[in-house]
Structure 1
Amino acid sequence: MRAPRHHTREMVKIFDTTLRDGEQSPGNTMNIQEKLRVARQLEMLGVDIIEAGFPIASQGDFEAVKLIAETVRTSEIAGLARANDMDIDRAWEAIQHATMPRIHTFISTSDIHLKHQLRKSRDEVLKLAVKAVKRAKQYTPNIEFSAMDATRSDWEYLCRVYAEVIEAGAVTINVPDTVGYAVPDEFGALIRYIRDHVPNIDHATISVHCHNDLGL
């Protein structure tokens, strides 16, 4: 297992999610060999991190992620996992033979998702997030945590979650605009707030996941 490429703080890393989020677009379903071909092209382009799929979603997705992890040598290979042991274990099973494996775990943090999707309190979600990162850390130090629906989350609570998962071992924290809610200035303000209010932010890379649902 190789360590991820070294980057200075001023360098932007490219995290490509064509094989996971991109495949959800209508008409973009791919078979295993097509996914491998895309992964090889992304590697040739010098993409830093390739999110190869969501291993627990289906056997086909698992096999595709596993094949990509065994084939691609110069890009980090990420497997997506919800914040539970079963997902994280399955993700690791798929990516363990990658040169640079990454577990990308996520849980919702917005109050609307907590109430209607998870039916959990803020404290319960925080505990699940920390537990997931600690579980992933048993397999690899290369852990990314996403606060799903971050742009509709309470900013103070969001920063609390990020601080706790960094303390637990996350080296990348992702800020996803899951429902395409934010406009650029607002999103930029959120990133500045996170930088200013997460005390251990210097121990993690800030990642962003944006949609263009508003056509901007």
Structure 2
Amino acid sequence: MLLSEYRIKEFVDELASKSPAPGGGSASALAGAMGISLASMVANLTSGKEKFKDREPLLQEILLEAKKIKESLVTLIDRDTDAFNKVAEVLKMPRETEEQKKARSEAMEQALKEAAVIPLTVMEECLKAIRLHEKALGNTTTSALSDLGVGVLCLKAALYGAWLNVKINLNSIKDAKFVEDVEKKARAILKQGTELADGLYQKIEEALA
């Protein structure tokens, strides 16, 4: 059964268990999925209202894009845990002969690269989602401003959580060029996402004052 198909209580109980997966990576993807779902909720609450009639095309655009991002992040909940499990499987490979050691080392490098790329993808999706909140702010009902704020906070947490998972996997990868490229990309996403999320949160808090 996929993690994304668990009931909420089942998922958090599994997260709380001594099993190392699901862990922070899957939790980050889930936080991101919750964040973008709140943007969808706010757009749905606004859609069809006479006051926002002229914004209807934009609202439909937000809803369509949010659905894609949500589905991607839900898939990434499982992909992150699968990637961790692949690393765990490589650790069980024999290493008695030189050939076995080489095969194990190569398999580990590949598994770790995949484990780093998946949270990087979570970061990319979270940045898209934060930008979608920017589109929604000012074009959706003010009665759900707090929900947009919570969505932004969920996405910022997901962004940082995914960043930590990128980092921990990069620390064990030998391919220096791969590490440099992924870290550079992740840092750029983190900077953009953080600045945008902080700015949106500030605007929302001020609007609620």
Q: What TM-score range do you get, normalising by the shorter chain?
A: under 0.3
| Alignment TM-score, normalising by the size of structure 1 | 0.26
Structure number having the greater strand percentage: 1
Structure number having the greater helix percentage: 2
Q: Which has the higher contact order (CA 8 A, sep 6+)?
A: 2
Higher Rg of the two aligned structures? 2
| Alignment TM-score, normalising by the size of structure 2 | 0.27
